[in-house]
Structure 1
Amino acid sequence: MAYRESLGLPGDPDGENLHRAPSFSLLPPSLEVPRAEAGPEVHRFRVPAAAGSAPLRDWWANDDAPLVYATFGTVAAGVPFAAAAFRTVVEALAELPVRVLVTVGDSGDPSTWSALPPNVHVERWVPQQDVLVHAAAMVCHGGTGTVLGGLAAGVPMVVVPQFADQPDNAERVAAVSAGIGVGDGGSGAGHGRGAAGRRDPRAQRAVLPEGSGCDGRGDRRPASGRRGGQLLGETHGC
Protein backbone atom coordinates (compact mmCIF):
# COMPACT_ATOMS: atom_id res chain seq x y z
CA MET A 1 0.00 0.00 0.00
CA ALA A 2 2.86 2.38 0.81
CA TYR A 3 4.24 1.89 -2.70
CA ARG A 4 0.89 2.76 -4.26
CA GLU A 5 0.65 5.89 -2.13
CA SER A 6 4.20 6.87 -3.11
CA LEU A 7 2.98 6.89 -6.72
CA GLY A 8 -0.01 9.03 -5.86
CA LEU A 9 -2.47 6.13 -6.11
CA PRO A 10 -5.19 5.40 -3.56
CA GLY A 11 -4.47 2.63 -1.06
CA ASP A 12 -5.68 -0.93 -1.75
CA PRO A 13 -4.93 -3.02 1.37
CA ASP A 14 -7.02 -6.00 0.23
CA GLY A 15 -5.63 -6.12 -3.31
CA GLU A 16 -9.05 -5.65 -4.89
CA ASN A 17 -7.59 -3.79 -7.86
CA LEU A 18 -5.80 -6.97 -8.91
CA HIS A 19 -9.20 -8.63 -9.47
CA ARG A 20 -10.45 -5.72 -11.56
CA ALA A 21 -7.43 -5.19 -13.80
CA PRO A 22 -7.08 -6.70 -17.30
CA SER A 23 -4.60 -9.57 -17.53
CA PHE A 24 -2.55 -11.64 -19.95
CA SER A 25 -2.83 -15.43 -20.06
CA LEU A 26 -1.12 -18.30 -21.88
CA LEU A 27 -4.05 -20.62 -21.13
CA PRO A 28 -6.89 -21.44 -23.53
CA PRO A 29 -10.23 -20.39 -21.98
CA SER A 30 -11.51 -23.92 -21.32
CA LEU A 31 -8.41 -24.81 -19.30
CA GLU A 32 -9.25 -22.11 -16.77
CA VAL A 33 -11.78 -22.58 -13.98
CA PRO A 34 -15.13 -21.26 -15.30
CA ARG A 35 -16.11 -17.94 -13.79
CA ALA A 36 -19.44 -17.50 -12.04
CA GLU A 37 -19.68 -14.01 -13.50
CA ALA A 38 -17.89 -11.95 -16.11
CA GLY A 39 -14.57 -10.54 -14.98
CA PRO A 40 -12.01 -8.12 -16.37
CA GLU A 41 -10.72 -8.54 -19.89
CA VAL A 42 -8.18 -11.31 -20.52
CA HIS A 43 -5.71 -10.97 -23.40
CA ARG A 44 -4.59 -14.44 -24.54
CA PHE A 45 -1.36 -15.19 -26.33
CA ARG A 46 0.91 -18.06 -27.27
CA VAL A 47 4.64 -18.52 -27.10
CA PRO A 48 5.70 -19.19 -30.72
CA ALA A 49 6.29 -22.87 -31.34
CA ALA A 50 9.83 -24.03 -31.98
CA ALA A 51 10.62 -24.54 -35.66
CA GLY A 52 10.46 -28.30 -36.15
CA SER A 53 11.88 -30.94 -33.84
CA ALA A 54 15.12 -32.87 -33.75
CA PRO A 55 15.09 -36.64 -34.30
CA LEU A 56 14.77 -38.60 -31.08
CA ARG A 57 17.71 -40.89 -30.37
CA ASP A 58 16.98 -44.61 -30.43
CA TRP A 59 17.83 -45.63 -26.88
CA TRP A 60 15.74 -48.82 -27.16
CA ALA A 61 17.45 -50.77 -29.98
CA ASN A 62 14.69 -50.41 -32.58
CA ASP A 63 11.91 -51.35 -30.16
CA ASP A 64 8.62 -50.09 -31.65
CA ALA A 65 6.53 -50.25 -28.45
CA PRO A 66 4.53 -47.09 -27.60
CA LEU A 67 6.67 -44.33 -26.11
CA VAL A 68 5.69 -42.86 -22.73
CA TYR A 69 7.39 -39.65 -21.63
CA ALA A 70 7.76 -39.26 -17.86
CA THR A 71 8.79 -35.92 -16.40
CA PHE A 72 8.32 -33.97 -13.19
CA GLY A 73 9.89 -30.87 -14.72
CA THR A 74 12.99 -29.00 -13.59
CA VAL A 75 11.79 -27.98 -10.11
CA ALA A 76 9.49 -30.68 -8.73
CA ALA A 77 11.91 -33.46 -9.68
CA GLY A 78 14.43 -31.97 -7.23
CA VAL A 79 12.02 -31.69 -4.26
CA PRO A 80 12.54 -34.75 -2.00
CA PHE A 81 8.93 -35.88 -1.55
CA ALA A 82 8.11 -35.22 -5.22
CA ALA A 83 11.26 -37.05 -6.32
CA ALA A 84 10.15 -40.08 -4.29
CA ALA A 85 6.72 -39.99 -5.95
CA PHE A 86 8.36 -39.67 -9.36
CA ARG A 87 10.51 -42.74 -8.78
CA THR A 88 7.37 -44.70 -7.85
CA VAL A 89 5.70 -43.54 -11.07
CA VAL A 90 8.67 -44.62 -13.18
CA GLU A 91 8.92 -48.02 -11.47
CA ALA A 92 5.25 -48.62 -12.29
CA LEU A 93 5.72 -47.61 -15.93
CA ALA A 94 8.75 -49.89 -16.21
CA GLU A 95 6.48 -52.90 -15.73
CA LEU A 96 4.37 -52.04 -18.78
CA PRO A 97 5.09 -53.08 -22.41
CA VAL A 98 6.17 -49.57 -23.40
CA ARG A 99 9.32 -47.58 -24.01
CA VAL A 100 9.80 -45.02 -21.26
CA LEU A 101 11.87 -41.86 -21.54
CA VAL A 102 12.47 -40.21 -18.17
CA THR A 103 13.91 -36.72 -17.66
CA VAL A 104 15.08 -35.83 -14.15
CA GLY A 105 16.13 -32.19 -14.54
CA ASP A 106 19.47 -30.53 -13.99
CA SER A 107 19.48 -31.43 -10.29
CA GLY A 108 18.87 -35.12 -11.03
CA ASP A 109 21.47 -37.79 -11.65
CA PRO A 110 20.64 -40.44 -14.28
CA SER A 111 23.29 -42.77 -12.83
CA THR A 112 21.16 -43.26 -9.69
CA TRP A 113 18.47 -44.92 -11.84
CA SER A 114 20.68 -47.76 -13.05
CA ALA A 115 18.51 -50.53 -11.57
CA LEU A 116 15.69 -50.00 -14.08
CA PRO A 117 14.97 -52.45 -16.95
CA PRO A 118 16.13 -51.76 -20.54
CA ASN A 119 12.77 -50.38 -21.68
CA VAL A 120 13.43 -47.31 -19.48
CA HIS A 121 15.97 -44.65 -20.42
CA VAL A 122 16.84 -41.71 -18.16
CA GLU A 123 18.28 -38.34 -19.20
CA ARG A 124 18.71 -35.07 -17.34
CA TRP A 125 16.94 -33.10 -20.04
CA VAL A 126 15.61 -33.55 -23.57
CA PRO A 127 13.75 -30.78 -25.44
CA GLN A 128 10.09 -31.46 -24.71
CA GLN A 129 8.89 -30.82 -28.26
CA ASP A 130 11.38 -33.39 -29.58
CA VAL A 131 9.89 -36.08 -27.34
CA LEU A 132 6.19 -35.31 -27.53
CA VAL A 133 5.99 -35.59 -31.31
CA HIS A 134 6.77 -39.29 -30.83
CA ALA A 135 4.94 -39.96 -27.55
CA ALA A 136 1.78 -42.02 -27.08
CA ALA A 137 1.29 -40.55 -23.59
CA MET A 138 2.95 -38.32 -21.02
CA VAL A 139 3.06 -38.88 -17.26
CA CYS A 140 3.87 -35.62 -15.51
CA HIS A 141 3.52 -33.45 -12.41
CA GLY A 142 1.15 -30.96 -13.98
CA GLY A 143 3.39 -27.89 -14.21
CA THR A 144 1.82 -25.30 -16.49
CA GLY A 145 4.60 -25.39 -19.09
CA THR A 146 4.52 -29.17 -19.26
CA VAL A 147 0.71 -29.28 -19.55
CA LEU A 148 0.68 -26.67 -22.32
CA GLY A 149 3.32 -28.68 -24.18
CA GLY A 150 1.18 -31.81 -23.92
CA LEU A 151 -1.88 -29.94 -25.18
CA ALA A 152 0.03 -28.43 -28.09
CA ALA A 153 1.29 -31.86 -29.13
CA GLY A 154 -2.10 -33.52 -28.65
CA VAL A 155 -0.63 -36.09 -26.26
CA PRO A 156 -2.87 -37.58 -23.53
CA MET A 157 -1.61 -36.91 -20.01
CA VAL A 158 -1.57 -38.74 -16.70
CA VAL A 159 -1.03 -35.94 -14.18
CA VAL A 160 0.37 -36.76 -10.73
CA PRO A 161 0.29 -33.34 -9.02
CA GLN A 162 2.61 -32.50 -6.15
CA PHE A 163 2.19 -28.84 -5.09
CA ALA A 164 1.55 -25.23 -6.19
CA ASP A 165 -0.67 -24.95 -9.29
CA GLN A 166 -0.32 -28.64 -10.15
CA PRO A 167 -3.50 -30.01 -8.45
CA ASP A 168 -5.55 -27.31 -10.17
CA ASN A 169 -3.96 -28.12 -13.53
CA ALA A 170 -4.63 -31.85 -13.03
CA GLU A 171 -8.28 -31.09 -12.31
CA ARG A 172 -8.64 -28.99 -15.44
CA VAL A 173 -6.84 -31.52 -17.66
CA ALA A 174 -9.36 -34.14 -16.53
CA ALA A 175 -12.31 -31.73 -16.82
CA VAL A 176 -11.58 -31.00 -20.49
CA SER A 177 -10.86 -34.68 -21.32
CA ALA A 178 -7.20 -34.11 -22.17
CA GLY A 179 -6.06 -36.74 -19.65
CA ILE A 180 -6.56 -37.85 -16.06
CA GLY A 181 -5.33 -36.80 -12.65
CA VAL A 182 -3.99 -39.36 -10.16
CA GLY A 183 -4.07 -38.37 -6.48
CA ASP A 184 -4.58 -34.93 -4.99
CA GLY A 185 -1.03 -33.71 -4.59
CA GLY A 186 0.34 -32.79 -1.19
CA SER A 187 3.20 -31.26 0.72
CA GLY A 188 4.69 -34.32 2.37
CA ALA A 189 6.50 -37.45 1.26
CA GLY A 190 3.74 -39.81 2.32
CA HIS A 191 1.05 -37.91 0.48
CA GLY A 192 3.16 -37.49 -2.61
CA ARG A 193 4.04 -41.19 -2.71
CA GLY A 194 0.40 -42.13 -2.28
CA ALA A 195 -0.57 -39.91 -5.20
CA ALA A 196 1.69 -41.97 -7.42
CA GLY A 197 -0.15 -45.25 -6.75
CA ARG A 198 1.50 -48.11 -8.59
CA ARG A 199 -1.61 -49.88 -9.85
CA ASP A 200 -4.19 -47.23 -10.65
CA PRO A 201 -6.12 -48.85 -13.54
CA ARG A 202 -7.14 -45.46 -14.96
CA ALA A 203 -3.51 -44.53 -15.42
CA GLN A 204 -2.68 -47.83 -17.09
CA ARG A 205 -5.60 -47.45 -19.52
CA ALA A 206 -4.48 -43.92 -20.36
CA VAL A 207 -0.91 -45.02 -21.06
CA LEU A 208 -1.97 -48.16 -22.94
CA PRO A 209 -5.35 -47.48 -24.59
CA GLU A 210 -7.26 -50.60 -25.53
CA GLY A 211 -6.11 -52.03 -28.82
CA SER A 212 -3.24 -49.60 -29.00
CA GLY A 213 -0.39 -50.28 -31.31
CA CYS A 214 -0.09 -46.54 -31.72
CA ASP A 215 3.00 -44.45 -31.82
CA GLY A 216 1.24 -41.39 -30.45
CA ARG A 217 0.66 -39.65 -33.79
CA GLY A 218 -2.35 -38.97 -35.99
CA ASP A 219 -5.88 -40.22 -35.26
CA ARG A 220 -4.60 -43.35 -33.54
CA ARG A 221 -4.07 -41.31 -30.40
CA PRO A 222 -6.61 -41.77 -27.61
CA ALA A 223 -9.45 -39.26 -27.68
CA SER A 224 -7.84 -37.34 -24.81
CA GLY A 225 -4.83 -36.60 -27.00
CA ARG A 226 -6.93 -35.33 -29.88
CA ARG A 227 -8.91 -33.18 -27.44
CA GLY A 228 -5.71 -31.56 -26.18
CA GLY A 229 -4.84 -30.37 -29.66
CA GLN A 230 -8.35 -28.98 -30.13
CA LEU A 231 -8.10 -26.92 -26.94
CA LEU A 232 -5.10 -24.99 -28.19
CA GLY A 233 -7.04 -24.28 -31.36
CA GLU A 234 -9.39 -22.04 -29.38
CA THR A 235 -9.29 -18.38 -30.38
CA HIS A 236 -6.44 -16.49 -28.74
CA GLY A 237 -6.17 -12.72 -28.70
CA CYS A 238 -2.67 -11.27 -28.59
Structure 2
Amino acid sequence: MMLLDPYHLAAVINATLKYYTDFCKNWRLPQKRDVLMMKLLSNTIALFTFMNFFCPVWVLLHYLIFPTNAAYPCSFMWLFCRWELYLLSGGSYFWLLISIFSNITTVSIFTLVIYIFVICTILSKEFFAPSVRKTRNYTTSNSLRSPGNLQLAYRTFELLVKNANDVIAPVLVPAQAVITQFSLSCNYLLILDHASLDLTSASLLLLWSGGALALWTVVLAFGGYIHTQGSADALLLEAVRLAEDKES
Protein backbone atom coordinates (compact mmCIF):
# COMPACT_ATOMS: atom_id res chain seq x y z
CA MET A 1 0.00 0.00 0.00
CA MET A 2 1.06 3.60 -0.61
CA LEU A 3 0.54 5.41 2.67
CA LEU A 4 1.15 9.14 2.54
CA ASP A 5 2.11 9.45 6.22
CA PRO A 6 3.09 5.97 7.49
CA TYR A 7 4.92 7.16 10.63
CA HIS A 8 1.91 9.03 11.98
CA LEU A 9 -0.40 6.12 11.17
CA ALA A 10 1.93 3.71 12.99
CA ALA A 11 1.92 6.01 16.03
CA VAL A 12 -1.88 6.14 16.03
CA ILE A 13 -2.16 2.35 15.79
CA ASN A 14 0.36 1.80 18.60
CA ALA A 15 -1.45 4.26 20.86
CA THR A 16 -4.77 2.60 20.06
CA LEU A 17 -3.42 -0.87 20.87
CA LYS A 18 -2.21 0.46 24.21
CA TYR A 19 -5.61 2.03 24.83
CA TYR A 20 -7.42 -1.17 23.86
CA THR A 21 -5.21 -3.30 26.11
CA ASP A 22 -5.61 -1.61 29.48
CA PHE A 23 -7.04 1.93 29.09
CA CYS A 24 -3.65 3.29 30.15
CA LYS A 25 -3.94 7.02 30.82
CA ASN A 26 -0.19 7.58 30.34
CA TRP A 27 -0.21 6.80 26.62
CA ARG A 28 1.69 9.09 24.31
CA LEU A 29 1.22 9.89 20.65
CA PRO A 30 4.49 11.17 19.12
CA GLN A 31 3.85 14.27 17.04
CA LYS A 32 7.25 14.24 15.27
CA ARG A 33 6.69 14.73 11.56
CA ASP A 34 9.04 14.34 8.62
CA VAL A 35 9.39 17.90 7.28
CA LEU A 36 10.47 16.74 3.83
CA MET A 37 7.60 14.27 3.61
CA MET A 38 5.05 16.91 4.65
CA LYS A 39 6.42 19.36 2.07
CA LEU A 40 6.25 16.77 -0.70
CA LEU A 41 2.78 15.78 0.50
CA SER A 42 1.51 19.35 0.31
CA ASN A 43 2.97 19.82 -3.17
CA THR A 44 1.43 16.53 -4.32
CA ILE A 45 -2.04 17.53 -3.09
CA ALA A 46 -1.76 20.88 -4.88
CA LEU A 47 -0.52 19.22 -8.09
CA PHE A 48 -3.31 16.66 -8.38
CA THR A 49 -5.99 19.14 -7.40
CA PHE A 50 -4.72 21.54 -10.08
CA MET A 51 -4.64 18.72 -12.67
CA ASN A 52 -8.39 18.27 -12.33
CA PHE A 53 -8.99 21.65 -13.96
CA PHE A 54 -7.74 20.07 -17.21
CA CYS A 55 -10.14 17.12 -16.90
CA PRO A 56 -7.63 14.26 -17.46
CA VAL A 57 -10.22 11.80 -16.21
CA TRP A 58 -12.59 12.95 -18.94
CA VAL A 59 -9.87 12.64 -21.58
CA LEU A 60 -8.83 9.15 -20.46
CA LEU A 61 -12.38 7.84 -20.17
CA HIS A 62 -13.30 9.25 -23.56
CA TYR A 63 -10.21 7.67 -25.11
CA LEU A 64 -10.96 4.24 -23.64
CA ILE A 65 -14.49 4.20 -25.08
CA PHE A 66 -13.87 6.16 -28.31
CA PRO A 67 -10.14 5.69 -29.13
CA THR A 68 -10.52 6.99 -32.69
CA ASN A 69 -12.29 10.19 -31.62
CA ALA A 70 -9.98 12.23 -29.42
CA ALA A 71 -11.58 14.41 -26.79
CA TYR A 72 -10.75 18.01 -25.98
CA PRO A 73 -8.00 19.15 -25.44
CA CYS A 74 -6.32 16.32 -27.34
CA SER A 75 -8.28 17.09 -30.51
CA PHE A 76 -6.20 20.27 -30.86
CA MET A 77 -2.87 18.49 -30.39
CA TRP A 78 -0.66 16.61 -32.78
CA LEU A 79 -1.15 12.87 -32.82
CA PHE A 80 2.31 12.04 -31.44
CA CYS A 81 1.70 14.35 -28.44
CA ARG A 82 -1.51 12.63 -27.40
CA TRP A 83 0.21 9.49 -26.17
CA GLU A 84 2.47 11.51 -23.88
CA LEU A 85 -0.55 13.25 -22.37
CA TYR A 86 -2.43 9.97 -21.89
CA LEU A 87 0.57 8.23 -20.33
CA LEU A 88 1.49 11.15 -18.06
CA SER A 89 -2.00 11.82 -16.77
CA GLY A 90 -2.82 8.11 -16.61
CA GLY A 91 0.28 7.27 -14.58
CA SER A 92 -0.26 10.23 -12.26
CA TYR A 93 -3.88 9.32 -11.62
CA PHE A 94 -3.02 5.67 -11.12
CA TRP A 95 -0.58 6.65 -8.35
CA LEU A 96 -3.12 9.04 -6.87
CA LEU A 97 -5.96 6.51 -6.87
CA ILE A 98 -3.76 3.82 -5.30
CA SER A 99 -2.72 6.27 -2.57
CA ILE A 100 -6.31 7.34 -1.92
CA PHE A 101 -7.51 3.73 -1.84
CA SER A 102 -4.70 2.66 0.50
CA ASN A 103 -5.28 5.48 2.97
CA ILE A 104 -9.07 5.33 2.98
CA THR A 105 -9.12 1.53 3.28
CA THR A 106 -6.54 1.44 6.07
CA VAL A 107 -8.09 4.20 8.17
CA SER A 108 -11.65 2.96 7.55
CA ILE A 109 -10.86 -0.56 8.72
CA PHE A 110 -8.84 0.84 11.60
CA THR A 111 -11.68 3.13 12.71
CA LEU A 112 -14.36 0.45 12.33
CA VAL A 113 -12.32 -1.97 14.41
CA ILE A 114 -12.04 0.67 17.15
CA TYR A 115 -15.79 1.30 17.14
CA ILE A 116 -16.72 -2.38 17.10
CA PHE A 117 -14.22 -3.77 19.59
CA VAL A 118 -13.72 -0.76 21.87
CA ILE A 119 -16.92 1.28 21.93
CA CYS A 120 -19.49 -1.46 21.36
CA THR A 121 -17.72 -4.24 23.25
CA ILE A 122 -15.78 -2.63 26.08
CA LEU A 123 -17.18 0.80 26.88
CA SER A 124 -20.79 -0.36 26.57
CA LYS A 125 -20.25 -3.32 28.91
CA GLU A 126 -17.37 -2.61 31.25
CA PHE A 127 -18.91 0.55 32.71
CA PHE A 128 -22.34 -0.91 33.47
CA ALA A 129 -23.54 -0.97 37.07
CA PRO A 130 -22.75 -4.24 38.88
CA SER A 131 -26.44 -5.13 39.14
CA VAL A 132 -26.72 -5.16 35.37
CA ARG A 133 -23.98 -7.77 35.05
CA LYS A 134 -24.42 -10.04 38.04
CA THR A 135 -24.03 -13.19 35.99
CA ARG A 136 -20.98 -11.99 34.03
CA ASN A 137 -17.41 -11.20 34.87
CA TYR A 138 -15.69 -7.98 33.89
CA THR A 139 -12.76 -8.37 31.53
CA THR A 140 -10.89 -5.34 32.91
CA SER A 141 -9.82 -4.32 36.40
CA ASN A 142 -12.36 -2.93 38.85
CA SER A 143 -10.37 0.29 39.25
CA LEU A 144 -11.36 1.28 35.73
CA ARG A 145 -14.96 1.68 36.87
CA SER A 146 -14.19 4.27 39.52
CA PRO A 147 -15.85 7.71 39.06
CA GLY A 148 -14.29 9.74 36.29
CA ASN A 149 -12.71 6.90 34.32
CA LEU A 150 -15.46 6.80 31.71
CA GLN A 151 -14.86 10.43 30.85
CA LEU A 152 -11.12 9.78 30.64
CA ALA A 153 -11.60 6.71 28.46
CA TYR A 154 -13.95 8.51 26.08
CA ARG A 155 -11.74 11.58 25.84
CA THR A 156 -8.73 9.39 25.06
CA PHE A 157 -10.69 7.62 22.35
CA GLU A 158 -11.81 10.96 20.93
CA LEU A 159 -8.19 12.09 20.64
CA LEU A 160 -7.24 8.82 18.93
CA VAL A 161 -9.95 9.23 16.31
CA LYS A 162 -8.91 12.85 15.78
CA ASN A 163 -5.35 11.74 15.07
CA ALA A 164 -6.61 8.97 12.80
CA ASN A 165 -8.47 11.60 10.78
CA ASP A 166 -5.16 13.39 10.23
CA VAL A 167 -3.95 10.34 8.30
CA ILE A 168 -6.82 10.43 5.83
CA ALA A 169 -7.09 14.22 5.59
CA PRO A 170 -4.41 14.66 2.85
CA VAL A 171 -6.40 12.55 0.37
CA LEU A 172 -9.85 14.10 0.91
CA VAL A 173 -9.46 17.01 -1.52
CA PRO A 174 -7.88 14.94 -4.35
CA ALA A 175 -10.48 12.21 -3.81
CA GLN A 176 -13.31 14.73 -4.04
CA ALA A 177 -11.84 16.12 -7.27
CA VAL A 178 -11.35 12.69 -8.86
CA ILE A 179 -14.84 11.44 -7.96
CA THR A 180 -16.45 14.65 -9.20
CA GLN A 181 -14.56 14.60 -12.50
CA PHE A 182 -15.29 10.90 -12.98
CA SER A 183 -19.03 11.42 -12.51
CA LEU A 184 -19.02 14.43 -14.84
CA SER A 185 -17.11 12.43 -17.45
CA CYS A 186 -19.69 9.65 -17.36
CA ASN A 187 -22.52 12.18 -17.67
CA TYR A 188 -20.74 13.89 -20.58
CA LEU A 189 -20.49 10.65 -22.54
CA LEU A 190 -24.07 9.69 -21.74
CA ILE A 191 -25.46 13.04 -22.93
CA LEU A 192 -23.37 13.76 -26.02
CA ASP A 193 -22.55 10.27 -27.30
CA HIS A 194 -25.57 8.26 -26.23
CA ALA A 195 -26.38 7.41 -29.86
CA SER A 196 -23.01 5.67 -30.27
CA LEU A 197 -23.25 3.67 -27.05
CA ASP A 198 -24.70 0.20 -26.80
CA LEU A 199 -26.87 -0.83 -23.88
CA THR A 200 -24.00 -2.37 -21.93
CA SER A 201 -21.77 0.71 -22.20
CA ALA A 202 -24.61 3.10 -21.33
CA SER A 203 -25.63 1.00 -18.31
CA LEU A 204 -22.04 0.82 -17.11
CA LEU A 205 -21.55 4.58 -17.41
CA LEU A 206 -24.82 5.21 -15.58
CA LEU A 207 -23.82 2.79 -12.82
CA TRP A 208 -20.38 4.41 -12.47
CA SER A 209 -21.83 7.91 -12.33
CA GLY A 210 -24.52 7.15 -9.76
CA GLY A 211 -22.37 4.73 -7.77
CA ALA A 212 -19.49 7.17 -7.33
CA LEU A 213 -21.77 9.94 -6.09
CA ALA A 214 -23.71 7.59 -3.81
CA LEU A 215 -20.53 6.20 -2.26
CA TRP A 216 -19.05 9.64 -1.66
CA THR A 217 -22.34 10.85 -0.15
CA VAL A 218 -22.33 7.94 2.29
CA VAL A 219 -18.71 8.65 3.27
CA LEU A 220 -19.43 12.33 3.92
CA ALA A 221 -22.64 11.56 5.80
CA PHE A 222 -20.89 9.00 8.02
CA GLY A 223 -18.07 11.43 8.76
CA GLY A 224 -20.55 14.18 9.59
CA TYR A 225 -22.47 11.84 11.89
CA ILE A 226 -19.32 10.93 13.82
CA HIS A 227 -18.36 14.59 14.13
CA THR A 228 -21.84 15.62 15.31
CA GLN A 229 -22.13 12.80 17.83
CA GLY A 230 -18.62 13.44 19.11
CA SER A 231 -19.37 17.14 19.63
CA ALA A 232 -22.62 16.36 21.44
CA ASP A 233 -20.95 13.78 23.68
CA ALA A 234 -18.10 16.18 24.44
CA LEU A 235 -20.60 18.85 25.56
CA LEU A 236 -22.43 16.30 27.70
CA LEU A 237 -19.24 15.13 29.36
CA GLU A 238 -18.22 18.72 30.02
CA ALA A 239 -21.60 19.39 31.66
CA VAL A 240 -21.19 16.29 33.83
CA ARG A 241 -17.72 17.40 34.86
CA LEU A 242 -18.95 20.88 35.81
CA ALA A 243 -21.79 19.36 37.84
CA GLU A 244 -19.34 17.09 39.69
CA ASP A 245 -17.08 20.07 40.41
CA LYS A 246 -19.98 22.02 41.90
CA GLU A 247 -21.00 19.10 44.11
CA SER A 248 -17.47 18.64 45.37
TM-score greater than 0.5 by the shorter chain: no
Q: Name the structure, 1 or 2, with higher relative contact order (CA <8 Å, separation 6+).
A: 2
More strand by share: 1
TM-score of the pair, normalised by structure 1? 0.22
Select the structure of larger CA radius of gyration. Answer: 2
